[in-house]
Chains A and B, each alone.
Chain A
């Protein structure tokens, strides 16, 4: 089946958005765009690129996507980068930094980096800037990570690379750093037509839950996210257990691994230990291809949680909002812009807070339904891929015309 083109989004977001994307793309006709990241599957970045790259091509732009390759040592180092950027101190040896630079150099030789606008995603390929082709190109670093309080020594290393870019893009203003170039703010997005977010018939949902062996005798409290300490899955188990004393409910934790996340198995074991043998708790380890299963779980949920303690953005929240679910989220990073507290869900700061809000939403279904409606409306306006494309094309227009207010043509 062919991937949907831009026109397929018009019934969802209205004609104005599609018209704007085509108009901006028209102003940029002939500009060659390239995205580079570290994994083709798993994680939010790959999900965004899988749709954004062909949609930009459909809008008439020359749009490509390259993925760097690395060995286990490289990904262990970049995972340490990720943790250090999020404020968890890591010991990174000089030899590991050298290997990181070597892997980037090898990728620079292997990949075709010739484009007018090059968007490099996250720290893994950031050192490609050292091998930037000569010519009138624009290189932009896209940081998807909450880098608001990074480990200083690691940031000093990365800063030397990031400063060489012409601009950077950040998901939230509090993540930005002091840099000698413009720092644009663009929220990431979800694709409403992707397998993970498309409408599902009730029978499809029922069949998938049966296959996953999740009984629907009780309301479901669901958190979908990688088994990562920052997502606090252990805290979710504790919050659910507190809430379930008052309102009978089941817990579903559904997470996958990603190619660049070797820490997941350890966190998964901690979650299973915390849950014990409680039959109302379901811990699922899903492959990166389990989009339909995640879709069904989010749609079957009465309440969705994203109890992260640090979060780059947390696209699982936008996914749940798009499905009309109120979301309880940790008051951190990008979660605070997706959840308008008390309007589209609740922001929480503790296990107890999460437990209390679970009880409230399960005990007040009409309130939960209203919040879910507002969540869907906000997701439509702010967190779908069409808005992301608008932002990105506006940024390229701005970069190519001197970053000033524009009335085009």
Chain B
């Protein structure tokens, strides 16, 4: 049985030099943006503390709310789950559908307030093993409770892009290494886009503790 090797991760942001000023430009961006730019704005938001104060799980929806101040678009984008099919072509197509349909129904194009433009960027994730190895569910629960935002991101969010959208490192280890498909299923049912990072940490740790009793 292999132990669970805890990792931590740090994102380094790189500017593209391009910004989105209005909804029409967002449409163009969604058509043309490089995969790593889409990845940053859709999947790396939980690495930022602002994620915990936002009503939405990805940065495009959050920007529609605070930058464009278009509550309807924000809700439509916020409902979109990029993890359902995280392939670039799939998220690009789904987002284009949402924005195009929304734009058709508008009498004017919403613009971002000055200072609230969407600055397009990409990021490099630097991940590394922390040296912690958990051999039991209780050890893993304790490690999760101590984990940083970057660590939880790596194992719970980023893992879905590495493994498969419905999976994460914790549930994969529970199922494969511990033979605990039941506990893995509980973890997979966590409605994570609706939770703050500390709430996710609490739910994961509590599930592991319960399974370890």
Contact = CB atoms under 8 A, between A and B. Distances in A.
A16 B126 contact: no
Contact of B49 (A378, A390, A404): A378
B124 interface: yes
Interface string B1-29: 00000011010111101010000000000
A317 to B, nearest CB: 15
A343 B53 contact: yes
Majority DSSP secondary structure for residues of B touching A: strand
A14 B127 contact: no
Interface string A18-51: 0110011001000000000000000000000000
Contacts of A378: 49
A143 B147 CA distance: 33
Interface string B43-71: 00000011001000000000000000000
Contacts of B127: 406-408
A1 interface: no
A174 interface: yes
A184 B128 contact: no
Interface string A147-178: 00000000000000000000000101110111
Given A16-B147, A332-B115, A185 B126 contact: no
Contacts of B128: 20, 23-24, 27, 407-409
Contacts of B125: 405-406
Contacts of A336: 115-116
A80 interface: no
Interface size class, chain B: 20 to 34
Contacts of B148: 14, 16-17
Nearest to A167: B14
Contacts of B119: 172-174
Contacts, number: 94
A207 interface: no
Interface stretch (A52-60, A68-76, A198-206, A395-403): A395-403
B126 A397 contact: yes
Contact of B53 (A340, A381, A394): A340
A90 interface: no
B15 A408 contact: no
Interface of A: 14-17, 19-20, 23-24, 27, 170, 172-174, 176-179, 182-186, 331-332, 336, 340, 343, 347, 377-378, 381-382, 390-391, 394-395, 397-398, 403-409
Given A170-B15, A347-B115, 12 more contacts: A15-B146, A16-B130, A16-B150, A19-B131, A182-B14, A183-B17, A186-B13, A336-B115, A377-B49, A391-B12, A394-B124, A408-B128
16 contacts: A14-B148, A15-B146, A19-B8, A23-B130, A170-B15, A173-B15, A174-B117, A183-B14, A336-B115, A340-B50, A340-B53, A343-B53, A347-B115, A390-B10, A406-B127, A408-B128
Interface of B: 7-8, 10, 12-15, 17, 19, 49-50, 53, 114-117, 119-121, 124-128, 130-131, 146-151
